[in-house]
Structure 1
Amino acid sequence: MSSAQWSRRRAIGAGLGAAAFALTGCSGDSAPVRRLRLATGPQGGPYNAFGHALAQAVAGSGGPLEVVPVSTAASVDNLRKLDDGSADLALAMADVAEDAVLGRESFPRPAKVTALARVYVNYTHLLVPADGPVRSVGGLAGRPVASGAAGSGAQVVAGRVLRAAGLSDGPTPAHERQLGLAESVRALRAGTVDALFWSGGVPTPALSGLANELPLRFLPLDGYVGTLRERHGPVYTAVTLPASVYGLAEPVGTIGVGNYLLARDDVPASAVRALLQVVFDRWRDLLREVTAGARLEPRFAISTGEVPLHPGAVAYYRSVYG
């Protein structure tokens, strides 16, 4: 058990009595509305959809919060905004969030980031035209690849897969083109890239639309999970794109990465508790926007690895679930 896991369990076991006591009576008709800026992702993407759904759910709850979604480039950009104070809340992939907390890769120093919940799992998609020559990751050598927008979690995991496959340098590296999802879809359709990486829920509507226009092949990536875990930790898991989505005739093994709802450590505990109440009351509506068949359960939600839970989140889980 890591020190972060032990600290989380010890904190929940103790219940943060002082924090829970401080929250008593914080809500009420006279409470001022607190506005929280939520860094989401690009327009049309799943983070943006989740963020707007959460804002609507919070507005309809009648509580003392207002959530304002802010469009961004996604995970890396979101964590930087949290750290510099231009956002109060953010969505980010687990691998990037751990980089931020530990001060590695894209983050020169540890960022001021805490977790509220692990909300769902991203599935890494790598797709190519079905009638094209590429049938494995190795076949991307020397070819242009849409690897996700700069500042996105998709670009991080795509780069790590290509490095694991030996395609980030050497005589014939893959040529990464940092394109957002909409641009990537257009480029694959037009033939200006030979492959498209994406990390998101299943099904992702933009990819379902592309699959209806263009026969696609989804390349298996589960063989790289072990290498990624050795190099970057247990945030990566083996998951399966199920048969029938995107017209798949059979399941395709790939890489799963959790998505975290995050907050600055100075967001008041009372605001965190009120927000999580809405998240758990409305999780079916929220997850319907981004991925099919997912559930949000407490034991899943508190599994945030090296990213510490916000004290308000600990108090919420303790008060509701014991």
Structure 2
Amino acid sequence: MRRIGLALLLSATLTVPAVQAQQNLSIATGGTGGVYYPIGGGLAEMIGQHIEGHSAVAEVTGASVENMGLIHREDSDLAIALADTVYQAYHGTGAFEGRQVEDVRAIASLYPNAVQIVTLQGSGINSLADLKGKRVSVGAPGSGTEVNARAVLESNGVSYDDFTVQRLNFNETADALRDNDIDAGFWSVGPPTSSILSLANSRDIQLLSLTEEEVKNAMGAEAVFAPYQLAANLYEGMDAPANTVGIPNVLTVNAAMPEELAYQITKVLFEKVDELRAIHPAANDTTVEFSMGSTPIPMHPGALRYYEEIGAEIPDRLRE
């Protein structure tokens, strides 16, 4: 009887289905002083709470350019990157000449970045031309900020040979300005950003305003640039608005991601977007309409399935 009972117990044990392993997704973001990291962290929480069998974590990276490599190698499951970087990666142009990332696909455009050029009051820097001969941070190596900074500068007749180039991340740039180790710095990030907010609390800052011609020249250099105005009082001591250019930020994945998972991520992003907005105001621009109008590369089939399901008008360029 004992042997029969043991055999029955073993048989029953073998027929119990195994518990599905939790799949942990990696979200490539940027530095902790920007917007990518909190937005990525918020999205990670949403995935863990609303997609059964999945969790996610936001990873600190060098941002846009590096993130495209992570997606291509499938070292990250999702990544946020600037639209111009994503466009260049997909088409194998610009910084991606000879190393096309043809397997990158979009889920959505999240919010627009603004190119923010910051100096301290009394620096004597009031225009792009005034950066000549100065010490200027153009963003972290491998970041979309540097891609944007170079485009804005070179389209307006200023080259890296004209000033001392520093490649610092957002927090390092703010610290260097605070300590007078540099004269100006570029941020390409959703405003307001924590590192500039912190700097403005300790030093009197000034944001450069591009002229109408400079904005036009920059737009001629990058198809994804659009005019953008930083509002007065965005940062402490900023008494007047500043004109610049804006660039969408795109949530990307590898084309190999399962369609159902891409669909679920897209669905959660838009149907639970208030959770993301509670984490950072940049997500106020996270809408289906913004995604349809701003995304520069084809969407993943799973994302398209969601957009079709809700009746969105999908431009032809977003289909393969």
Match of 2:139 in 1: 148
Distance 1:222 1:272 in 2: 41
Distance 1:175 1:165 in 2: 17
| Structure 1 position 225 matched with structure 2 position 215 | yes
CA 1:130 to 1:204, structure 2 compared with 1: closer, same or farther past 3 Å? same
CA 1:252 to 1:44, structure 2 compared with 1: closer, same or farther past 3 Å? closer
What SS does the aligned partner of 2:284 have? coil
Distance 1:33 1:319 in 2: 27
Distance 2:248 2:279 in 1: 16
What SS does the aligned partner of 1:127 have? strand
CA RMSD of superposed structures (Å): 1.9
| Structure 1 position 251 matched with structure 2 position 276 | no
Distance 1:204 1:66 in 2: 27
Distance 1:212 1:71 in 2: 25
Query: Is contact 1:202-1:290 (8 Å) kept?
Result: no
Query: Is contact 2:108-2:295 (8 Å) kept?
Result: no
199-208 or 160-169, larger mean C-alpha shift: 160-169
Query: Is contact 2:151-2:222 (8 Å) kept?
Result: no
1:62: how far off?
Answer: 5.0
1:159: how far off?
Answer: 1.3
Structure with larger RCO (C-alpha < 8 A, sep 6+)? 1
Aligned-partner residue type, residue 271 of structure 2: D
Distance 1:242 1:293 in 2: 17
Distance 1:138 1:231 in 2: 18
| Structure 1 position 274 matched with structure 2 position 264 | yes
Match of 2:56 in 1: 67
What SS does the aligned partner of 2:173 have? helix
1:9-57 C-alpha deviation (Å, 9 max, x unpaired): xxxxxxxxxxxxxxxxxxxxx8764332211112332111111111111
1:292: how far off?
Answer: 4.8
Query: Is contact 1:146-1:176 (8 Å) kept?
Result: yes
Aligned-partner residue type, residue 248 of structure 2: G
1:119-162 C-alpha deviation (Å, 9 max, x unpaired): 10111110111111111111000111011000111111111122
Distance 1:61 1:94 in 2: 27
Where do residues 8-19 of structure 1 align in structure 2 (5 Å cutoff)?
Answer: none
CA 1:45 to 1:61, structure 2 compared with 1: closer, same or farther past 3 Å? same
TM-score by length of 2: 0.85
Aligned-partner residue type, residue 121 of structure 1: P
1:211: how far off?
Answer: 0.8
| Structure 1 position 295 matched with structure 2 position 285 | yes
1:63: how far off?
Answer: 2.2
What SS does the aligned partner of 1:44 have? coil
Structure 2 residue runs without a partner (length 5+)? 1-18, 313-320
Match of 1:23 in 2: none
Distance 1:148 1:261 in 2: 21
Distance 2:250 2:304 in 1: 15
CA 1:222 to 1:281, structure 2 compared with 1: closer, same or farther past 3 Å? farther
What SS does the aligned partner of 2:310 have? helix
Where do residues 33-72 of structure 1 align in structure 2 (5 Å cutoff)?
Answer: 33-72=22-61
Match of 1:11 in 2: none
- Picking from 80, 87, 105, the partner of 2:94 is 105
Aligned-partner residue type, residue 253 of structure 2: A
CA 1:196 to 1:169, structure 2 compared with 1: closer, same or farther past 3 Å? closer
**Sequence identity percentage:** 30
How many residues are matched?
A: 290
Structure 1 residue runs without a partner (length 5+)? 1-29
